[in-house]
A and B are shown apart, each in its own frame.
Chain A
């Protein structure tokens, strides 16, 4: 049976429910959010319809600039750490026995699906004074006294790398499995060490994949909203935290919506860049 163009009206039948659901519960809410970003805040209730740019004008403050700058910096750091750790790991994984691969994939998926709340709680335990990792160092005689390691920037970064690492591996996995094994075999035959063939053959061959992965992990990290709250100080709060804060605790929906629209624009710009990087990769 060939794929045929729909002829009768009833051929469109299967599309009605999915299309309806996606339009009503995704497109419409999205449009509502954009509309609200131009509304005026109503201290008594949620907001009142209007058309003002005040919410966007607030971006121009120093405070907002700092938060945005920090969010971008944090996401870049997470993306770099994850890719640096994940590329060699995924490469080794893609060359491992099938059984080993499946085992790791199950473990990675289990951690990837863990709630941010749970990851935050687990790391706050690991960084705590009474049950934390410093107790281990005391036991080994490296430290004199157990200390709390959070709230701190390092704690936020570590937990976010933990959260994003399985994602990074799973994004890289298909590309690395498909990588032609004869490439490295050739390099080895010509006398390159495994390390050397990895850095001179595998990494350059995957250049575009790596760039695309960096951007995807960056977007993923940009979405983190709980870890900076649980493990960081207020100066470590990101744009996502601020949006939640404004929407829920300050009841300033229009400002939250304006920030969200801004975040969408940043994300879409990056997705476009990823697609562009991917296209270029295929052409090469």
Chain B
């Protein structure tokens, strides 16, 4: 009875979650430029369009560059901060942990508007670098959370042993700490990367009038009507996210990362 209930309920939730993706996938293989489901004819041409049409290609390129750079900057902010909070006893420094989590907790439009006023006031408004920094601040929460989790799972006696043998902080970090937190470092980067790739409002309010990332491009295209490239890009993004999170799950411990107490393998 319980097993049947579970199957039925999982099935219904699964259907709800996958239905839009199934329909968009169907729409994306239409032969002509029509919004029709079930698809009329079959063509993968709209996937090619992402790479052959210069507008879509440059939006894709802008999105991937932005995501790769901003996730890296987010890591550069999160790693020393998480290390310091783990290594030192300085309660007042927790305020920075709070600051790192705040942008992600507040409604995104607030962070976006704050950054827009800031860049407009300082005169950098519209420059590509502003989007990288804005996204790094907006998504710093993710590596910060995974790294804090990573540091807290390090057995301190390992570090103590290294210190007793005469290793200094730098050596300990490089030879003991870094290898142990590497999975958390990578998953933090992956989370920030995927979310930055999909982010709209912060990107729009910082560089929306000078550049197009893919979400901005899709939204702008939506206003002028429909092109099947939107559908193929959507499927591409779903595939990218599923692949990256699949890899995180394959090489890391996803239930633990998401807060389950310990793994059961």
Q: Which residues does A use to contact B, with CB under 8 Å?
A: 1-6, 11, 14-15, 17-19, 21-23, 25-30, 32-33, 36, 46, 85, 88-89, 92-96, 98, 101-102, 104-111, 113-126, 128, 130-133, 135, 162, 165-166, 170, 173-174, 177-178, 193-194, 219, 222-223, 225-226, 230, 240, 243-244, 247-248, 253, 256-257, 260, 263-264, 267, 271
Contacts and interface: CB of A to CB of B under 8 A. Distances in A.
Interface of B: 1-2, 5-6, 9-10, 13-14, 16-17, 19-21, 23-24, 26-27, 34-37, 76-78, 80-81, 83-84, 86-90, 93, 96, 99-100, 102-103, 105-118, 120-121, 133-134, 136-137, 140, 156, 159-160, 163, 172, 191, 194-195, 197-201, 204-205, 208, 214-216, 218-219, 222, 230-231, 234, 237-238, 241-242, 245-246, 249, 254-255, 258-261, 263-265
Contact of B117 (A2, A32, A104): A32
Contacts of A135: 37
A115 B10 contact: no
Contacts of A165: 13, 16-17
Contacts of A95: 6
Given A17-B76, A132-B23, A166-B17, 19 more contacts: A6-B90, A26-B99, A28-B118, A98-B263, A107-B14, A110-B238, A110-B242, A114-B198, A121-B218, A121-B222, A126-B20, A133-B19, A133-B23, A194-B1, A194-B2, A222-B107, A223-B109, A225-B201, A257-B117
B20 A162 contact: yes
B237 A14 contact: no
B105 A121 contact: no
Contacts of B191: 113
A33 B113 contact: yes
Given A118-B237, A130-B34, A263-B110, A15 B156 contact: no
Contacts of B241: 109-110, 113-114
Given A22-B137, A25-B133, A240-B107, A118 B23 contact: no
19 contacts: A3-B86, A6-B88, A17-B76, A32-B114, A33-B117, A46-B120, A94-B260, A98-B265, A116-B201, A117-B216, A117-B222, A119-B20, A120-B222, A121-B230, A124-B222, A125-B20, A131-B23, A174-B258, A267-B105
Contacts of B86: 3
* Closest 8 A/B residue pairs (Cβ): A174-B259, A223-B107, A29-B118, A131-B37, A122-B20, A115-B198, A18-B81, A14-B80
A121 B24 contact: yes
Nearest to B220: A117
A113 B195 contact: yes
B102 A26 contact: yes
A150 to B, nearest CB: 13
Nearest to A129: B35
B234 A121 contact: yes
Contact of A92 (B6, B23, B172): B6
A223 B261 CA distance: 30
A2 B157 CA distance: 9
B137 A18 contact: no
Contacts of B26: 131
A1 B204 CA distance: 46
Given A3-B87, A113-B241, A115-B198, A125 B231 contact: yes
B219 A117 contact: yes
B17 A162 contact: yes
Contact of A162 (B16, B117, B219, B258): B16
A244 B87 CA distance: 42
Contacts of A1: 87, 156, 159-160, 163, 172
Nearest to A122: B20
B107 A118 contact: no
A5 B76 contact: no
A14 B84 contact: yes
A17 B77 contact: yes
